[in-house]
Structure 1
C-alpha cells in the first residue's frame, strides 16, 4: 500500500489523540460543548424567526439586531462543532428535537417586540451560564483552547443581552 493510500485509510480515534488532555475529559467537555451547540442552534433559529416576524416601533432596530445575532450564531455553531471534532469526538449530527427550537408560548404572530426581546434575553443568559461552567471546567483541565472559545462566545452573548435590553428600554 502506498503512503497516500495508507493515509487515506488511516482511522483516527479519540484514543489516538495525545495533546495533553485526558480522553475522559475530552469526552466530557465534548458533551458539554454539544449541549452549548444545541442551545446556540435554538437561539439562532429563534433569532431568525423573530427577525422575520417582529412588528411595531421597534421593528427596524430589532430586525437589524436579530440579523446580526443569527449570523454570528451560525458561524459560532460551526466553530463549536469543529472544537468537538478536534477533541476527537463526533459533532452532533441529529436534529431530532427540531420542534424544540421553535419559540415557546404564544404564537409568534401574537408576540410583541418586547416579549420577543425578553425571550431572547432569557436564552442568551442561559447560554452564558452554560459557557461559564464549560470555561471553568476547561480551565481546570488545562484546555485553554476551549476556555478561550467560551470566553470569546461569552463576550458576544453578554453584548447581545446589553443591546437587546437597550433597544427595548423605555
Structure 2
C-alpha cells in the first residue's frame, strides 16, 4: 500500500479518542490565540512611540520572543496527540478569541490591548485544563499550567504600567 492510501496509524496514548480530539480542539484555540497575540505584540514592538518607547519596545520584544517559543510547544503537543496543528492565517482567524486591532493605537492603548490579550490566552488555557485533567492528560495539563503562569505574569506587568 502506498503512503497516500494507507490509513493513519492508530493513536493509543491512554486517552479516550473523544477526549483526545476535544483536547486537540482546545489546544488549537490556544495556538490560534497565542499566534495572534504574537503577531499583535510584534506589530506593537515595531510601531510603539512616545516617552516610554525604549521600555515598551524592549518589553514587547521580550513578550513576542516568549510567544514565539510557546506556539511551537503548543503545536508540537497537538502533533504528539496525533493530529495536525492549524497553521494558516485563515485557520487562526477562525479559532482565535483575540480581537484584531485596526490601525495603530497609542502606547497606552497598546499596553491595555496586550494586557487583555494575555488574559484571553489565560482564559483559553483555563477552559481546556479541566478537560485535560479529566482525561488524565498530564503533559497537556503541565503545558497549560506553564502557559497560564506566564500569561498571568505578563498581564500583571502590563497592568502595572497602566497604574498612576
TM-score with structure 1 length normalisation?
0.84
Q: 1:93 to 1:112 in 2, by over 3 A?
A: closer
Q: 1:102 to 1:45 in 2, by over 3 A?
A: farther
Alpha-carbon offset, residue 167 of structure 1: 2.7
Aligned to 2:109: 115
Q: 1:97 to 1:17 in 2, by over 3 A?
A: closer
- Contact map agreement 1:51 1:63 (CA 8 A) in 2: yes
- Contact map agreement 2:32 2:93 (CA 8 A) in 1: no
Deviations, residues 112-163 of structure 1 (Å, cap 9, x unaligned): 2110001111111111111011112111110111011000011110111111
Deviations, residues 43-83 of structure 1 (Å, cap 9, x unaligned): 00010000011111111111111101101111110110000
Q: Is residue 27 of structure 2 the alignment partner of residue 30 of structure 1?
A: no
Q: 1:99 to 1:55 in 2, by over 3 A?
A: farther
Runs of 5+ consecutive residues of structure 1 not aligned to the other structure:
1-9
Aligned to 1:104: 101
Alpha-carbon offset, residue 94 of structure 1: 2.4
Matches within 5 A, 1:1-170: 12-13=8-9, 16-96=10-90, 103-105=100-102, 107-108=103-104, 111-170=105-164
TM-score with structure 2 length normalisation?
0.87
3-state SS of 1:96 partner: helix
CA distance in 2, matches of 1:102, 1:141: 30
- Contact map agreement 2:33 2:92 (CA 8 A) in 1: no
- How much is the aligned-residue C-alpha RMSD, in angstroms? 2.5
From the CA coordinates, give the structure whose radius of gyration is larger: 1
Question: How many residues align structurally?
Answer: 160
Runs of 5+ consecutive residues of structure 2 not aligned to the other structure:
1-5
